[in-house]
């Protein structure tokens, strides 16, 4: 019996529960079938789909009101919260896990929790009953020698438990390792030298029943302030695979650089066309190349050529297994952790200029409204004529004489690209696509990896050209696959959560704006709990329903309304926070922000595994007879989609953390300086501000606000003085002084700078 069939069977039973003997009897499981039933029950229990309430008694977790599965999010003070996999009826927010229960697991672990109590207002407490999956096979931290022996203090403060290091397990078994980037671990000859160094520890025993974790050192990284160690810490903290196994390197090095004649059979030859790549100045791998022309009927011919990674990376090979494990390339300021070995990512697959390269191509015919009136998908070969940069294409289109002379044969082609990109952008605007114009910070570093400043990342017409062309290709491929395969992989963006929309509307109202969604439907839940004295208490909880009528046009209209206004930045930021995160799925629910019915990722297979999956699907379709429908070209797609979504979040968290760490180091030398800032959030403990020019955040504690005692008014999200009634609100511009930098927690503390009398005013140094 399949997993789904067994879950369906138990779900239909009273209370969605069954015991093993009952299932054997009802399903007629004998011999091998009985053994198979035991295996299936064990698998579903390990996955969290079933919970074994007691020996041989199983309940469907999704139907249970007592048990819930999710991820443990720890607080540095010892307690935690369960982020549930599914919404819980009658419960508002995450489930609180007290310290005595939270110590059974570690931050990030996937656990089963029993709901112990539901309080007034829908808040709930729970206790961990089982750890389904450990989040940390290894932990990076600082090695110490103390009275009680040797231990490692985790770098992540949410990992509460210190890790005991038994005698004889202080050094890696095979000595210091050298990775592909060339970072070498320091040589340490004695245990005493390890004191204060950053190490990576493999966990041998996890915390259980009051006993702490035990581990052994597998890597010595050096001191935290040593060059490059910050990157190494972040890589290991987020468990990013960063060293290619020998078999992967061997396979990559064995791939011939030259393309054999046999590999060109059946491919369309585009080598005689002036196809170009357009990327940033520092780009090292080139996934995509483009070409545009005007057809005799007045329509546009757009060619988007994407590196044919699927030709070189075959399913089940060592390179493929490692690429799936990584899921995506990770980009840090001074290095990258690529998804594919360098032999492929920066050479054989990369569409470098003046070299033959294999591609999968989307050939689109578009009319003057941007509608696709004809399309073809094909395997091909190209030879890029130029490696263009966004800056040079922009300057060329702006009329730079030297660049127009240098690229004279391509000038008309670039002008046509600009023309088509503007048409495609107008098409997206007409259908409701949202374009937030948030400034993107570009952090500058010196040769030692230290932050030297922040500038606003340039965005010009060249960026728009590539963005519009890639969006068009992704949509076309997504729609094509939807019609030709039973199961595909989509890039989806679900409608926003009504609660988040309500919260945004409350803030927007203070600025005189609204999304215009009207009243939000509310569902009321009633439940009863017991007091400690045995008496019962009835509660009513209101929860926003998902039936709210909202579309991307509501957001699009407000984005246009606030354009150029002083409050544009803060409202755009808050609108973005009200939306859900995009993810990968085999269930197509459309893409809310793009206002697209069908969307996928096809254009970056060198750095994203889902794109490689889409390439395999497309190649399978191209190899089938015309008109046929492919049933199962790629196995395990739903699990791959989930894995890729998780890998994407992991990479984004790691990239963000390292940048924040660099920012804190940068600000450590600026204590006492003052800066222009914007209040981006208000809480009961203070104001969060963002520095206007540096894109750096910090806290102004509520008890440091000048001239009065201040209180947080949650209903209006303002901090208000009791006597003066002075208000601090989201979006207010303030001048702040940097008071303190906490390098351990990587937090900045500011205070409000009051205006001083003329002559005493300190010179602003922001």
What interhelical angle do 637-667 and 318-326 show, nearest 10? 60
What pLDDT, on a 0 to 100 scale, did the predictor assign at position 157? 86
What pLDDT, on a 0 to 100 scale, did the predictor assign at position 455? 81
Among 643, 607, 605, which residue's Cα sits nearest to residue 329?
A: 607
Question: What's the average model confidence in pLDDT over 379-391?
Answer: 97
What pLDDT, on a 0 to 100 scale, did the predictor assign at position 766? 43
Summarised one tens digit per residue, pLDDT across range 244-256 is 999 999 999 999 9
Burial of residue 606 (CB within 10 Å: 0-12, 13-18, 19+) is buried
Among 295, 283, 399, which residue's Cα sits nearest to residue 350?
A: 283
For 243, the 3-state DSSP assignment is: coil
Burial of residue 605 (CB within 10 Å: 0-12, 13-18, 19+) is buried
What pLDDT, on a 0 to 100 scale, did the predictor assign at position 80? 93
Check whether 759 has a pLDDT greater than 50.
Answer: no
pLDDT tier, 45 (very low <50, low <70, confident <90, very high otherwise): confident
Check whether 698 has a pLDDT greater than 80.
Answer: yes
What is the rounded average pLDDT for all residues in the chain? 88
What pLDDT, on a 0 to 100 scale, did the predictor assign at position 635? 66
Name the β-bridge partners of 151: 144, 164
Summarised one tens digit per residue, pLDDT across range 263-272 is 999 999 999 9
Q: Distance (Å, rounded) from C-alpha 165 to C-alpha 190?
A: 15
Q: Distance (Å, rounded) from C-alpha 540 to C-alpha 520?
A: 18
Q: Distance (Å, rounded) from C-alpha 506 to C-alpha 520?
A: 12
Q: Distance (Å, rounded) from C-alpha 574 to C-alpha 572?
A: 5
Check whether 89 has a pLDDT greater than 80.
Answer: no
What pLDDT, on a 0 to 100 scale, did the predictor assign at position 765? 41
Q: Distance (Å, rounded) from C-alpha 455 to C-alpha 437?
A: 16
User: In this structure, what DSSP letter does residue 247 have?
Assistant: H
What pLDDT, on a 0 to 100 scale, did the predictor assign at position 18? 87
Between residues 540 and 392, which one has the greater pLDDT?
Answer: 392
Question: What's the average model confidence in pLDDT over 735-759?
Answer: 82
Check whether 556 has a pLDDT greater than 80.
Answer: yes
Least confident range from 15-24, 588-597, 677-686, 705-714: namely 15-24
Among 475, 429, 469, which residue's Cα sits nearest to residue 590?
A: 475
What interhelical angle do 3-11 and 20-27 show, nearest 10? 110
What pLDDT, on a 0 to 100 scale, did the predictor assign at position 25? 86
Between residues 466 and 185, which one has the greater pLDDT?
Answer: 466
**710 alpha carbon, distance to own chain's centre:** 37
What pLDDT, on a 0 to 100 scale, did the predictor assign at position 528? 54
Task: Find the helix or strand (DSSP H, E) in which 414 lies.
Answer: helix 411-431
Check whether 690 has a pLDDT greater than 50.
Answer: yes
Query: What is the percent of the chain where pLDDT is above 70?
Result: 91
Among 538, 542, 541, which residue's Cα sits nearest to residue 520?
A: 542
Query: What is the percent of the chain where pLDDT is above 90?
Result: 61
pLDDT tier, 124 (very low <50, low <70, confident <90, very high otherwise): confident
Among 677, 682, 680, 685, which residue's Cα sits nearest to residue 716?
A: 682
Check whether 93 has a pLDDT greater than 70.
Answer: yes
Task: Find the helix or strand (DSSP H, E) in which 100 lies.
Answer: helix 99-102
For 16, the 3-state DSSP assignment is: helix
Among 633, 636, 597, which residue's Cα sits nearest to residue 615?
A: 633
What pLDDT, on a 0 to 100 scale, did the predictor assign at position 184? 60
What pLDDT, on a 0 to 100 scale, did the predictor assign at position 523? 54
pLDDT tier, 403 (very low <50, low <70, confident <90, very high otherwise): very high
Check whether 278 has a pLDDT greater than 60.
Answer: yes
Among 175, 182, 183, 146, which residue's Cα sits nearest to residue 162?
A: 146
pLDDT tier, 746 (very low <50, low <70, confident <90, very high otherwise): confident
C-alpha separations of 108 from 23, 158, 388, 636, 756 in Å:
34, 9, 43, 24, 48
Least confident range from 524-528, 582-586, 592-596: namely 524-528
Check whether 177 has a pLDDT greater than 50.
Answer: no
Task: Find the helix or strand (DSSP H, E) in which 614 lies.
Answer: helix 609-623
**Range among 10-14, 160-164, 629-633 rated most confident:** 160-164
pLDDT tier, 443 (very low <50, low <70, confident <90, very high otherwise): confident
What pLDDT, on a 0 to 100 scale, did the predictor assign at position 49? 85
H helix and E strand count, the chain: 19, 36
pTM (two decimals): 0.86
Domains in the chain and their CATH numbers? Answer: 3-62 (1.10.10), 65-133 (2.40.50.140), 138-239 (no CATH), 248-489+595-657 (no CATH), 495-579 (no CATH), 671-752 (2.40.50.140)
What pLDDT, on a 0 to 100 scale, did the predictor assign at position 533? 53
Question: What's the average model confidence in pLDDT over 545-574?
Answer: 86
Among 26, 3, 157, which residue's Cα sits nearest to residue 639?
A: 3
Task: Centre a 10 Å sphere on the Cβ of residue 178 and count the other Cβ atoms it contains.
Answer: 10
Among 79, 61, 83, 59, which residue's Cα sits nearest to residue 70?
A: 83
Q: Distance (Å, rounded) from C-alpha 46 to C-alpha 61?
A: 12
Distance between start and end Cα atoms, the chain: 67
Between residues 209 and 39, which one has the greater pLDDT?
Answer: 39
Q: Distance (Å, rounded) from C-alpha 12 to C-alpha 41?
A: 16
What pLDDT, on a 0 to 100 scale, did the predictor assign at position 282? 86
């Amino acid at each position: 019996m399949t997993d789904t069939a067994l879950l369906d069977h138990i779900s239909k039973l009273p209370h969605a529960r069954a015991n093993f003997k009952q299932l054997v009897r009802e399903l007629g499981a004998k011999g091998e079938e009985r053994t198979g039933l035991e295996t299936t029950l064990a698998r579903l229990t390990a996955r969290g789909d079933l919970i074994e309430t007691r020996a041989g008694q199983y309940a469907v977790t999704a139907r249970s009101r007592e048990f819930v599965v999710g991820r443990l999010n720890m607080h540095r003070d010892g307690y935690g919260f369960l982020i549930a996999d599914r919404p819980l009826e009658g419960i508002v927010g995450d489930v609180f896990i007290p310290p005595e229960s939270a110590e059974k697991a570690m931050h990030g672990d996937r656990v089963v929790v029993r709901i112990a109590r539901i309080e007034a207002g829908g808040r709930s407490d729970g206790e961990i009953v089982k750890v389904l999956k450990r989040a940390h096979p290894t932990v990076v931290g600082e090695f110490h020698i103390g009275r009680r022996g040797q231990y490692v203090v985790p770098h992540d403060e949410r990992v509460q438990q210190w890790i005991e290091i038994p005698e004889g397990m202080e050094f890696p078994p095979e000595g210091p390792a050298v990775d592909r980037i060339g970072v070498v671990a320091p040589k340490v000859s004695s245990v005493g030298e390890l004191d204060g160094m950053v190490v990576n520890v493999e966990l041998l025993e996890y915390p259980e029943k009051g006993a702490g974790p035990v581990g052994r050192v597998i890597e010595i990284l050096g001191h935290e302030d040593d060059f490059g160690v910050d990157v190494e810490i972040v890589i290991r903290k987020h468990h990013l695979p960063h060293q290619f196994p020998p078999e992967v390197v061997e396979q990559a090095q064995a791939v011939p650089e030259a393309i054999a004649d046999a590999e060109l059979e059946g491919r369309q030859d585009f080598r005689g066309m002036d196809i170009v790549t357009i990327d940033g100045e520092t780009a090292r791998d080139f996934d995509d190349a483009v070409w545009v022309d005007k057809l005799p009927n007045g329509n546009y011919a757009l060619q988007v050529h994407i590196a044919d990674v699927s030709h070189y990376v075959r399913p089940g090979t060592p390179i493929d297994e490692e690429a799936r494990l990584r899921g995506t390339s990770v980009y840090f300021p001074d290095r990258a952790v690529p998804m594919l070995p360098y032999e492929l990512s920066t050479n054989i697959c990369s569409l470098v200029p003046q070299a033959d390269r294999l591609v999968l191509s989307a050939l689109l015919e578009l009319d003057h409204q941007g509608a696709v009136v004809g399309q073809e998908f094909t395997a091909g070969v190209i030879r890029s004529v130029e490696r263009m940069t966004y800056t040079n294409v922009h300057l060329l289109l702006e009329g730079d004489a030297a660049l127009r002379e240098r690229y004279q044969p391509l000038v008309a082609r670039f002008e046509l690209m600009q023309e088509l990109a503007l048409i495609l952008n107008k098409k997206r605007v007409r259908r409701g696509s949202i374009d937030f114009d948030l400034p993107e910070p570009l952090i500058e570093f010196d040769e030692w990896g230290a932050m030297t400043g922040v500038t606003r990342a340039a965005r010009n017409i060249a960026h728009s050209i590539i963005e519009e062309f890639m969006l068009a290709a992704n949509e076309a491929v997504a729609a094509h696959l939807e019609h030709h395969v039973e199961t595909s992989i989509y890039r989806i963006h679900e409608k926003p959560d009504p609660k988040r929309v309500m919260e945004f509307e409350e803030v927007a109202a203070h600025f005189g704006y609204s999304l215009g969604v009207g009243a939000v439907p509310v569902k009321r839940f009633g439940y009863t709990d017991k007091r400690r004295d045995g008496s019962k208490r009835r509660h009513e909880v209101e929860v926003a329903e998902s039936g709210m009528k909202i579309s991307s046009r509501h957001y699009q209209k407000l984005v246009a309304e606030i354009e150029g206004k002083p409050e544009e930045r803060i409202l755009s930021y808050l609108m973005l926070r009200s939306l859900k995160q995009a993810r990968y799925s085999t269930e197509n629910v459309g893409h809310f922000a793009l206002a697209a019915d069908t969307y996928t990722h096809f254009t970056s297979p060198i750095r994203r595994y889902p794109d490689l999956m889409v390439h395999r699907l497309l190649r399978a379709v191209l190899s089938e007879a015309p008109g046929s429908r492919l049933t199962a070209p790629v196995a395990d797609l739903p699990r791959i989609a989930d894995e890729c979504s998780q890998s994407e979040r992991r990479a984004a968290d790691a990239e963000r953390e390292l940048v924040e760490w660099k920012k804190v180091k940068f600000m450590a030398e600026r204590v006492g300086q003052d800066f222009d800032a914007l209040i981006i959030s208000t809480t009961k403990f203070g104001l969060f501000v963002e520095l206007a020019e540096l894109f750096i955040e910090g806290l102004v504690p509520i008890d440091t606000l000048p001239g009065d005692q201040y209180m947080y008014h949650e209903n209006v999200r303002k901090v208000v003085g009791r006597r003066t009634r002075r208000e601090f609100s989201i979006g207010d511009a303030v001048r702040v002084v940097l008071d303190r930098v906490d390098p351990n927690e990587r937090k900045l503390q500011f205070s409000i700078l009051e205006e001083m009398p003329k002559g005493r005013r300190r010179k602003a140094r922001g």
